[in-house]
Amino acid sequence: MTRMSLLIGLTMLLFAGTADAQVWQNGQWVPTGYHHASTAAEGYLSGAGRFLAGRGIYLQGLGEYLNDYEAARRSYIDNWSHYVHTRWAIKDEWSARQKAAHPDWPTRRMQQLDMLERAAAVRARESELRERGILPPKSDSPGVVVKGKLFESYEDFQGSPEWRQVRLEAQLRELDRLEEEQQAEIRREKAVEFGRMWAGMSWLQRERYTKLDPAQRAQYKLEWKYPDLKYERMEQDRNRRFYEARPYLIPQARQPGSQLPPVPPGME
């Protein structure tokens, strides 16, 4: 009975007109403030339908997200498994290659173990003989072997000619090391100076520099480092051209108190 009453009520609300939104006052119908072309029931049902549709869209998106998450997790597990299997396959391949390249490896390993066992047996036998007094007790200061000669202790080695020879050789090696460091520092400074000079040269100056002989290059570097030498050379060249054009003034220029430019070296 209750379901039937609810169904009848909903049907009446669906077919209700705009008069349901009015009241009778002073002999006429007066609107109650609801201004809409449809009825209130229609608006309620429309909103409820949109709410349910939105919830369905949300649930659909949530399902797609969960599917994508599980697919990504499955891909991660597959990648990790592939990494582990590939890593162990590479190790197995390396081991097989080593065994193929060294077929006697098991034999050599057994020989090494035999040598270790024999050395341990020898040390145990020496300890036993020392305890029985057959071998002398082991010295606290072990001997020193230098250049094939055995010394009982390091103190004995310090008082021998071999010690002085070893010290002299060590000092010579230290001097060689210091000289090599100085030469390396000189080479580094020359490289830095050449880099600065090359960076400050124009394209034409670089072309001219590459065509110079070693002596001219050395002079160019020296003049770049000490500009006073360059100015002195330029002055000598200028005086040389002056006296080459006027050789008769050379004797007068050599006289004391002459006001002429100095005669460059090498000119008569």
Q: What tokens does 235 get? A: 């002055």
How much is the average pLDDT of 250-263?
A: 83
Distance CA 80, CA 74 (A): 10
Q: Is the pLDDT of residue 152 over 80?
A: no
* Of the listed ranges 7-16, 74-83, 228-237, 238-247, the one predicted with least confidence: 7-16
Tell me how far apart the alpha carbons of residues 114 and 120 are, in angstroms, rounded to a whole number: 10
Ramachandran region, residue 151 (left: φ > 0; alpha: ψ -120 to 50; beta: rest): beta
Check pLDDT > 70 for residue 92: yes
pTM: 0.36
**pLDDT of 176 strictly over 90:** yes
Is the model's pLDDT at 126 over the cut of 90? Answer: no
151 bridge partner residues: 144
Separation CA 263–CA 250 (nearest Å): 7
Q: What is the pLDDT of residue 1?
A: 44
Least confident among 33-37, 92-96, 205-209? 33-37
CA dihedral in degrees (172, 178, 183, 187; nearest 10)?
A: 150
Three-state SS for 229? Answer: helix
User: Which single residue is written with the structure tokens 């036998």?
Assistant: 125
- Under 8 Å between Cβ of 193 and 223: no
Distance between CA 248 and CA 268 in Å, rounded?
A: 10
